[in-house]
Amino acid sequence: MPFRAGEPVAPATAEAHIRTWLAQCVVGLNLCPFARPLLGSERLRIAICNATQPDALRTVFLQELDLLQRCGEEEIATTLLAFPAALGDFHDYLDFLDEAQALLAEAGLEGVVQLASFHPRYLFAGEAADAPGHYSNRSPYPLIHLLREESLTRALADGADPEQIPARNIATLEEIGVAALERRWRDMFGDS
């Protein structure tokens, strides 16, 4: 996994890691049926924040939220905001995610923008630490996905059954198994 807590990563390198993860895991394993059309699109914004201080993380999150609102969907469809140098502890990440959700609500954007969470050490509550299902939300860096609710609603109207996605992902990941998933990560990112 490329993530090392507290170490900034060159934005181009971090973006390359994220694009590899999207292509080989998210799309390659069909973990998100909505990701494929945006994979190579310029409308997919990947923002890299190498800040480490909480105030700076909040500022960058709000800037990305503002940018998404100022730009039309034809310009920026969705944003992945990655934090390579911060939030390495999963619980710290969850605290920041709660804060980001509160900032979203304060901005009056609930129902307009939805946040999805991904982290290198993602763990679903109530699941065994070695459960393969955790890999559905594991990413090369801590990141928050800012999704436009309107585009998500349109995608769901095209026949996707969102209630089945988590169960299908778990079945796919269990079939692959943790050892093979870990091998996949090493092949993508090395032993770091």
**Residue 158's pLDDT band (cuts 50, 70, 90):** low
Q: What's the confidence (pLDDT) of residue 2? A: 59
Which range has highest mean pLDDT (6-10, 30-34, 166-170, 172-176)? 172-176
Q: What's the confidence (pLDDT) of residue 140? A: 94
Report the candidate in 188, 117, 138, 143 with the shortest Cα–Cα distance to residue 45: 143
How do residues 50-107 score in pLDDT, each as one tens digit? 999 999 999 999 999 999 999 999 999 999 999 999 999 999 999 999 999 999 999 9
158-170 average pLDDT score: 76
124-149 average pLDDT score: 94
Q: What's the confidence (pLDDT) of residue 156? A: 66
Alpha carbon dihedral 94, 98, 99, 101, in 10-degree steps, equals: 130
* pTM score: 0.92
DSSP calls for 68-88: HHHS-TTT-SEEEEE-TTS--
**Residue 155's pLDDT band (cuts 50, 70, 90):** low
**Residue 6's pLDDT band (cuts 50, 70, 90):** low
**Does 3 score more than 90 pLDDT?**
no
Q: What's the confidence (pLDDT) of residue 189? A: 83
Q: What angle do CA 100, 105, 111 make, to 5 degrees?
A: 110
Tokens describing residue 126: 């109530």
Delimit the domains of the chain by residue range.
11-189
121-144 average pLDDT score: 94
Tell me whether strands 113-118 and 78-82 are parallel, antiparallel or unpaired. unpaired
Q: What's the confidence (pLDDT) of residue 33? A: 76
